[in-house]
Chains A and B, each alone.
Chain A
Amino acid sequence: MPDAGSNAIYSLRQVTKAYNGRQVLQVDQLDIGRGEILALVGPSGAGKSTLLRLLNFLEPPTKGTIRFGDAIFDTQGDMPLAARRRVTTVFQRPVLLNRSVWANVTYGLALRGKRDDSEMAQQVLQNVGLAAQRGQRARTLSGGEAQRVALARAMVLRPAVLLLDEPTANLDPYNVGLIEENVVRMNRESGTTTVLVTHNVFQARRLADRVALLLEGRIVEIGDNESFFNTPRDPRTSAFVRGEMVY
């Protein structure tokens, strides 16, 4: 899947983002295809998380446009609520509400006035291995469990796009495996477009259909999994794939 082309759910054109006059992101063109898993890799400060915030419409771009379906997100920062609710993010650090696990998982449903999706919520909790903890206070969970609650909270919404910002950083292999398994299952079963920010080159290789390398706010190379890892065009991508790049 080298090019999202006409199947794109997102089309970014001449997008830049600057904070206090300092530009941290410049994406001339990026299309993200419906149903694909796109991994964004690169060192810290490359602009990966900034790009995710733009894709979740949490911040407007400084310049340029992001087309999402029929809606356009530009410097005005206006996005219809219905479109905004088709996208959600799981952040690196799971921040949970000071309520029960169940209240956290169903929070997004409550925001949408959907109180009849408890079966779905129960199923998702089962999938992430936390069905027994549904009544437990969320803030008493371990880091791995908390991240699984955060993932369940996003999954239960059945979003069109799931954005993952280093969701398995600092987690043990068991939790990493469980989270990856759920992300892939959701992508395969529901066709959820997934954008994964990761430092972990092996994880990108395991999960992604396409991979993009970001350096200093720019996309250096983007390609399908096979070509990105086996026949990279850019020497910096080669260095990254070989693990020579210092983070």
Chain B
Amino acid sequence: MTSFALNDSSVFVVIGSGAAGGTLANELAQRGHKVVCLEAGPRLQMADIVNDEAEMFGKLTWLDRRMATGKPDPNFPVWNCKTVGGTTMHWTAACPRLEPHEMRALTTYGVMPDTTLVDWPVTPEELEPWYQKAELRLGVTGKNGLPFLPPGNNFKVLEAGARKCGYTDIDTHHMAINSIDRDNRPACHQLGFCTSGCAIGAKWSTLYTEIPKAEETGRFELRPECMATGIALNDAGRVESVTYLHNGKSVTQKARAVAVAGNVVETTRLLLNTKSARFPNGLANSSGLVGRNYMRHFTIQVMGVMPGKVHFYRQTHLAGVVRDERGHRPERGFAGGFLINTVPFTPEILAKNMLIGGWGHELTDILAKYDYLAGMLLTGEDPPQLSNAITLHATERDGYGLPVPVVHYEDHPNTIAMKNYAWKAGRRIYEALGAEQIVEMGDYIPATHNMGTARMGTDPKASVCTPYGQTHDVPNLFVSDGSLFPTSGGCNPTLTIVALVLRQAEHIDQALKAGRL
């Protein structure tokens, strides 16, 4: 395995090994650059991935202390991963693209009170070829000649009910799950444990795609269990090194340039916690916007006790989609739109989610009909609000001795209106098929889509990064994850993150080759 010296200042350091970090690191290595990738979590082997949600939760999840104020769970506001592969271990692998009207949010929706809505500084036309490259790389189904995944029970119920309601834009979705053997990975066997790590590797995860491919170049070194704690600048205001904790010891790696890809919360924490005379409020934070405009998508559920058995756990978690409510139709009483996807729950998770609403027969009458349940997850656009922000706690410290991140989030009235509409829309779908009982479940799942805290833009006063994810303040410091999103759109963010990263990699490659970095 390749390894680089700590004083080798020619390496590009990538912090994070998930969708953004893992892909960027591989792409730079493929383009001939030396890369060190720091990952806070351990490197699992395929044999470590088992079909047991509770066990995998412990193996994959970022469990270091976090706090929240406002709407989220005060102790567990965000559900992301701390492992090589990052949250590509947990993701459902849904790969919708942003809609062009969503990338022009301010133009489309108009001024919305108490938001910082903007149009993206990258146009849909500019992003289009990068979406294509991302879809090819991830093997997205229903694109580039790859077949869709086959329809299973939970999807068939959703589809049948949705068609009765007049919806038509319905299929098994564009998924980064192999529908045929490809990329030295098998086709999906419908294990039903997508969010606990795919035990056969049919789902794209950087753990067994980007990372080993980067290693094959001989120009890449992965350093697992290395928690980045600071980024140092030289007198000229350029990054010169990254410091991290490994086995309790502080280590410093020299760097030519650095990209941060810590799934928003850790990206924010690292920048805010790196204070200097030049940047007293945190690195690359002259705008004061690092950590601000934090967005997540709402995730509400509707469960139906159906007239016949469904066995909704017997397939991919996100097994299909209804897109008809994705458009912007203000007559519904809100701006933007949402997607309707399938979702299953294990009995344990279903019980826990329902406990928030009650106990006794209210709960167990549903659980007793577990094999008759169909389930859907509805997720929609979340407008950016300056007051939704990730900050550092003044005194509380985690196991690394780092300030605990505090996530503050409240729903915008637009989100509340959209949720109320979405619950009704979901309910109608199962009612159309004669569901015996419908359970509406609230927005309890901790956020998995994290966006907005280092937004891209052209004005250094109104954004943290350039349209290529380069920080306005420090020329050789990049942000690569969902932090860059100026608005959230109405769909899962990972494909867009990968598309932006591939575009960023080309930009970095050209800058490195031209001697500008």
Q: A and B: real partners? A: no
Partner-B contacts on A (CB < 8 A): none
